[in-house]
Amino acid sequence: MKFDLPTPGWSFELLATLGKARAGILHTPRGDIETPVFMPVGTAGTVKAMTADELRAPPLDAKIILGNTYHLYLRPGLEVMKHVGGLHKFAAWDRPILTDSGGFQVFSLAALGELDDEGVTFRSHIDGSKHRLSPEISMEIQRVLGSDIAMCFDQCPPGDADAATHELALARTTAWAQRCRVAPRADGQALFGIVQGGIDTERRKRHMAQITAMDFDGHALGGLAVGEGIADTYRILDEVAHLLPAARPRYLMGVGTPQDLTHAVAAGIDMFDCVMPTRNARNGYLFTASGARVNIPNAANRLDTGPIDPECPCHTCQTHSRAYLRHLYQAKEILYARLATLHNLTFYSRHVRAMRERILADGERA
């Protein structure tokens, strides 16, 4: 079952369902993206420690990566991006890119000077310089970056925000989504709306109705990795994810562990991003198919000549031992970050693809 999306050249094909879980293909002008899909995070124009060729090569074979409006606006800046012709050319990446709008980073990293209905005035976390970000400015930055998927600028309250804060954030996010929708975009650039609402189910459903009525190319659930308990995250996913329009890709922002992804796919989510595989790799934590997480600095790995995971086909596991990786980590060698990141990203990619294969094998054809 294939659905044309509002942006020309884009469509979403639903292939099979297994309960609420879905397997599909997001067809884009820069290539097909099989869903469910995990999208490596390249915040500042790079997936940390990885080259574009390493990301493209099997078995990782990343079909889409992320960039971030806030970070790329501050550094290297729009003058550079305009000069080089956008993020794809700058990073030598020829597959799709999704850019976050910068809203989450403004609220989590920057020292806020002013938040109002028009946008946010903030100070850079790099040098303290003062800047303004609004729906129109966010969309202009994403237009210059030339990302394939732009995200609407939204207000993301913390997990412990009170009801009044959530209601104000919902009103602003809806109004800002309407402004993003009419702002100029790069040719062929799709736009996703973001549903907020915290851990209140009725508030989530109410905001979902407002956002989905605008007929975006896709829809995201935001505000579910901002300090709320995991039980509440799972409850909201179970209660609202499957209510997002079936004819559009569904994106869960910034989540999470392999277990989180498993739960979210079962709830009906199609797209994921998270810094966990890359950040954990750099900090010595490596994922395995058995579910046990390897803490590479542990002394138990000093004489271990086996791979991180004997079931993993990545270059790291096929070539290097835990003992060698522990040595690189202890010696603070740059190579450690590359080898560990490649493994963790490959694990995440294979984890999500295995769920896709099961849906296709055991599910009902759409």
Q: Residue 230 domain-assigned?
A: yes
pLDDT digits (tens, 9 = 90+) for 259-304: 999 999 999 999 999 999 999 999 999 999 999 999 999 999 999 9
pLDDT reading at 160 higher than 90: no
Position 288 scores a pLDDT of 98
The DSSP-derived string for 237-292 is HHHHGGGS-TTS-EEETT---HHHHHHHHHHT--EEE-SHHHHHHHTTEE--TTSP
Domain around 59:
15-273
Q: Residue 352 domain-assigned?
A: no
**CATH number of the structural domain spanning residue 238:** 3.20.20.105
H-type helices in 92-190, by residue range? 103-108, 135-145, 163-182
Catalytic residues: 100, 273
Q: Residue 52 domain-assigned?
A: yes
Q: Is residue 159 exposed (0-12), middle (13-18) or buried (19+ Cβ within 10 Å)?
A: middle
Q: Residue 359 domain-assigned?
A: no
Confidence of residue 111 (pLDDT cuts 50, 70, 90): low
Q: How far apart are CA 119 and CA 112, in angstroms?
A: 11
What SS3 class is residue 108? helix
pLDDT digits (tens, 9 = 90+) for 23-67: 999 999 999 999 999 999 999 999 999 999 999 999 999 999 999
Distance set, CA 9 to CA 1, 53, 99, 144 (Å) = 17, 26, 19, 20
CB 194 within 8 A of CB 271: no
Q: How many folded domains does the chain comprise?
A: 1
Q: Residue 326 domain-assigned?
A: no
Q: Residue 325 domain-assigned?
A: no
pLDDT reading at 244 higher than 90: yes
Q: Residue 227 domain-assigned?
A: yes
Position 104 scores a pLDDT of 82
Q: Residue 315 domain-assigned?
A: no
